[in-house]
């Protein structure tokens, strides 16, 4: 009887974790699909991806990407590659923490955990681009192009809605504590290594994630400085600053609020 009860509790925890993970990932990616074509600014991660796409596929004279590029298959390919790079950094941070613990405990258990972290991150490297492609069934290139050419006020509201969905999805996703993916795990592993608080670590890493895109844009010789300026104005502005400086605090606030609303994630998952 006691064994069966423990098994039921275990399955209950696993079911809740998977449910939170799927809901969180869905909201996170649909928010991403909504704000990408607004040209009101993009996530720091997406700006670096857009910089690669600018060099690879070119841009319009107004400094924007074609929506079949910004919301298309090539975007998801570059996203998967960038996630893989972030995953390597995340594993590096986790390895430092594991080595520090090993020096104290002489227990290799922490190194074994690294393989599970690697596999779970790899799942998201493959799954998130697939989810984004799935959203193209209703957020089609035609709809994305219509959003892109809408009035600025409308685009701002769409961006704001996508931003909040993205943040809410990430907050729920973090509560699942499984398959966190490179974007989330790099922060948690950096926290363990540096002993920083979540908000400070998130802002610092988000800024670091943006830097490669800025460098790529500045050093490329195939795009004129006039187009580079327009590209910066379209994709690094209010929206990007919101993601760098407000996304982490908002995700933290939403996570705390979800607990206070009686969902009791921490109690269920412990």
Q: What is the DSSP letter of 1?
A: -
229 with 63: CB under 8 angstroms? Answer: yes
Look up the pTM and report it: 0.79
Angle at the Cα of 206 from the Cα atoms of 155 and 185, rounded to 5 degrees: 115
- Can you give the pLDDT at residue 51? 93
Burial 99-132 (b: 16+ CB within 10 A, else e): eeeeeeeeeeebeeeeeebeeebbebbeebbebb
Terminal-residue alpha carbon distance, the chain: 22
Residues of the chain with pLDDT under 50: 1-3, 5-7
- Can you give the pLDDT at residue 262? 57
- Can you give the pLDDT at residue 246? 84
48 with 213: CB under 8 angstroms? Answer: yes
The pair of structure tokens assigned to 15 is 């079911």
Contacts 24+ apart (CB under 8 A), 3-9: none
Q: What is the DSSP letter of 270?
A: -
47 with 213: CB under 8 angstroms? Answer: yes
Among residues 43, 236, 141, the alpha carbon closest in space to that of 149 is found at: 141
Question: Taking phi first (over 0 means left), then psi (-120 to 50 degrees means alpha), and beta for anything else, what does residue 195 get?
Answer: left
d(CA 98, CA 110): 5
- pLDDT tens for 47-84 read 999 999 999 988 888 888 887 787 778 888 898 899 89
- pLDDT tens for 234-260 read 888 777 888 888 888 898 889 888 777
Q: Which contiguous run of DSSP H or E holds residue 245? A: none
Among residues 110, 256, 125, 100, the alpha carbon closest in space to that of 186 is found at: 125
d(CA 48, CA 130): 20
Residue 206: how many other CB atoms lie within 10 Å: 20
63 with 231: CB under 8 angstroms? Answer: yes
């Amino acid at each position: 009887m006691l064994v069966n009860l423990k098994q039921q509790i275990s399955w209950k925890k696993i079911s809740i974790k998977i449910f939170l993970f799927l809901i969180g990932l869905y909201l996170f990616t649909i928010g991403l699909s909504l704000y990408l074509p607004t040209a009101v600014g993009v996530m720091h991660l997406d700006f670096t991806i857009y910089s690669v796409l600018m060099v690879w596929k070119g841009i319009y004279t107004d400094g924007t990407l074609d929506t079949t590029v910004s919301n298309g298959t090539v975007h998801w390919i570059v996203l998967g590659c960038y996630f893989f790079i972030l995953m390597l950094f995340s594993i590096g941070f986790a390895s430092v923490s594991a080595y520090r613990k090993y020096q104290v405990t002489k227990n290799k258990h922490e190194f074994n955990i690294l393989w599970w972290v690697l596999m779970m991150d790899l799942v998201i490297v493959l799954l998130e681009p697939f989810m984004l492609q799935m959203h193209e069934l209703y957020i089609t290139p035609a709809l994305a192009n219509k959003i892109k050419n809408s009035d600025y006020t409308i685009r701002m509201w769409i961006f704001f809605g996508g931003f909040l969905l993205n943040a809410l999805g990430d907050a729920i996703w973090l509560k699942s504590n499984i398959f966190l993916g490179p974007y989330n795990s790099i922060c948690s592993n950096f926290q363990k290594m540096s002993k920083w608080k979540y908000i400070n670590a998130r802002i610092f890493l988000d800024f670091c994630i943006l830097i490669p895109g800025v460098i790529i844009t500045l050093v490329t010789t195939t795009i004129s400085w006039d187009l580079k300026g327009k590209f910066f104005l379209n994709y690094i502005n209010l929206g990007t600053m919101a993601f760098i400086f407000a996304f982490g605090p908002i995700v933290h606030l939403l996570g705390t609020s979800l607990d206070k609303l009686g969902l009791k994630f921490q109690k269920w998952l412990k």
